[in-house]
Structure 1
Amino acid sequence: MRLRGGKRRKADDRLEPRGTPGLAVELRGVRREYGRGSRAVHALAGIDLALPRGTFTAVMGPSGSGKSTFLQCAAGLDRPTAGSVRLGGTEITGMGENQLTELRRSRLGFVFQAFNLLPSLTVEQNVLLPMRLAGQRQDRRRAAAMLARVGLADKAGRRPGELSGGQQQRVAVARALITDPDVVFADEPTGALDTGTAAEILGLLRHAVDTLGATVVMVTHDPAAAAWADRVLFLADGVFAGGLDHGTAERIAARMAALTSRTGTVAVAAA
């Protein structure tokens, strides 16, 4: 069986079969609780979500709303207490740790606020690391193409410490895209960057969606960053409390202000 980008997946691969066509992320009744009894914390209180392939979704919410927990459960980094998670049509909720690790390496991409590059590796080696960990052939030509796409064609032999913060995040974006993943999860990807550099990184993610067909799910606190997305979803008290399509930074900020002022409520008027 041949996948996008010419990759092959074995017919008996345990990560198959894929599920609902056209959906990259599906969460049904996802709950995540920490602790028990009267002291239990309901970080996610029943999440239902279906995100089509080739879309850019931003997730926002007040502090403690469940953004980080949502991202961790959706990306298979944490297990929900209840409910179902599908990525690229594959049910991951009941997977063992080895299967989850395989899925994260071969079919998901990650961009974090702290870049998470290995300082002892070159830029090229950092970009190729997901392929190496997934046991795939390390395609240096593909790495070169990805680095050219993010404007770092001449930095392949450098170490991360020789690059600026914005350049390091560009490397992280190239690394996230190298395996042609089903979903790229971005956790505050511009939180450590200045405004101009942040716009460059968000432009790369937007470009990946528009021209490469990537699917991006981004958690952010910044309305200006969220404005790059096709849709912004708002979390409050562990549930989604409305959404905004193609919103401006001003409209997103106003919605967040209204949401934050309603502590403990989950009612936000639809745009």
Structure 2
Amino acid sequence: MGLRRKRQRGERSAPPAPEQRAPHTAPADWAVELRGVRRQYGRGTRAVHALRGVDLALPRGSFTAVMGPSGSGKSTFLQCAAGLDRPTGGTVHLGGTEITGMGENKLTALRRTRLGFVFQAFNLLPSLTVEQNVLLPMRLAGHRPDHRKAADVLARVGLGDKGRRRPGQLSGGQQQRVAIARALVTEPDVVFADEPTGALDTTTAAEILGLLRSAVDGMGATVVMVTHDPAAAAYADRTLFLADGAIVDRLEGASAALITDRMRALTVPAAAPTYAGAAAA
């Protein structure tokens, strides 16, 4: 049985669509902005073009899912957007700050304070308590741990009474809740999620996706999620489709069934992206 996103009455209106940037709009108005981003591995005839001139602008307080066939560039997109990999060409802005030419030390500091990450494997430190794992980004950034904030985010993810436990004492779903709390504790500009429900059963996955949805709607967070699951993508405000390193399509507020149909119809383009909005960005 697939996951289904339930919209509540009075839910806020959808944020402005990406790639429709007004001439007067400042970069700071966007949480994530990629302009002409290319990523090439190798040279000559063996060169692999993982990203081919991606143009993208995502508003603050939005939830975006990124899908595509295997080898379409999803992982490279996330790594370049999050400053984990450097593009071969183009620029990346996060919260109005260009990170493309940023030095490694400054980039590391930015990731620790202004970005949150949620991975499929949880990536919790088993020797630390739940609270200590949540506070880790603050400690790594050289800031004094805010125990009240840790307690608040743990309560938000339903783990208010688990702060002193170790990750090994928790279920997989609870460990992913800890990872979400860790990602949110610094109130980052963007939370990047890479297959956050890939290791979870359907029921637990629905709970985790509901938490990400609530972080957007209730806390104003911005979430960018790479996923292979149309049911997971249905929780997002929009779904972007990558093929051969380019954005080739987009759906707004689509159901899992519609997203599934679009994925089935998706073919790898031979050259330039067919998605007109990418060129108009």
Distance 1:236 1:131 in 2: 37
Match of 2:210 in 1: 203
Residue 31 of structure 2 is aligned to residue 24 of structure 1? yes
- Counterpart code for 1:149: R
Which of 132, 139, 142 is residue 149 of structure 2 equivalent to? 142
- The DSSP-based 3-state class of the residue aligned with 1:217 is strand
Alignment of 1:167-246 (within 5 A): 167-246=174-253
Distance 2:177 2:253 in 1: 24
- Counterpart code for 2:151: A
Please report the RMSD computed on the Cα atoms of aligned residues, expressed in angstroms: 1.2
Which of 129, 132, 135 is residue 125 of structure 1 equivalent to? 132
* Conserved? CA contact 2:39–2:87, under 8 Å: yes
- The DSSP-based 3-state class of the residue aligned with 1:45 is strand
Q: Percent identity?
A: 77
* Conserved? CA contact 2:28–2:97, under 8 Å: no
Distance 2:182 2:233 in 1: 22
- Counterpart code for 1:246: G
Distance 1:110 1:187 in 2: 8
Match of 1:4 in 2: none
Name which structure has the greater RCO, CA cutoff 8 Å, separation 6+.
Answer: 2
Q: 1:46 to 1:269 in 2, by over 3 A?
A: closer
Match of 1:93 in 2: 100
- Counterpart code for 1:213: G
* TM-score normalised according to structure 2 size: 0.87
Deviations 1:27-85 (A, max 9, x none): 00000000001110000011000000000000000000000000000000000000000
Deviations 1:122-178 (A, max 9, x none): 000000000111111101111011111000011100000010000000000000000
Deviations 1:209-241 (A, max 9, x none): 001100000000000000000000000000000
- Counterpart code for 1:258: A
Q: CA deviation at 1:263?
A: 3.6
Match of 1:7 in 2: none
Runs of 4+ in 1 over 2 A off after TM superposition: 262-270
- Counterpart code for 1:70: F
Which of 46, 61, 72 is residue 68 of structure 2 equivalent to? 61
* TM-score normalised according to structure 1 size: 0.90
Gap runs ≥5 in structure 2: 1-25
Distance 1:201 1:137 in 2: 28
Task: Give the number of equivalent residue pairs.
Answer: 250
Distance 2:158 2:64 in 1: 24
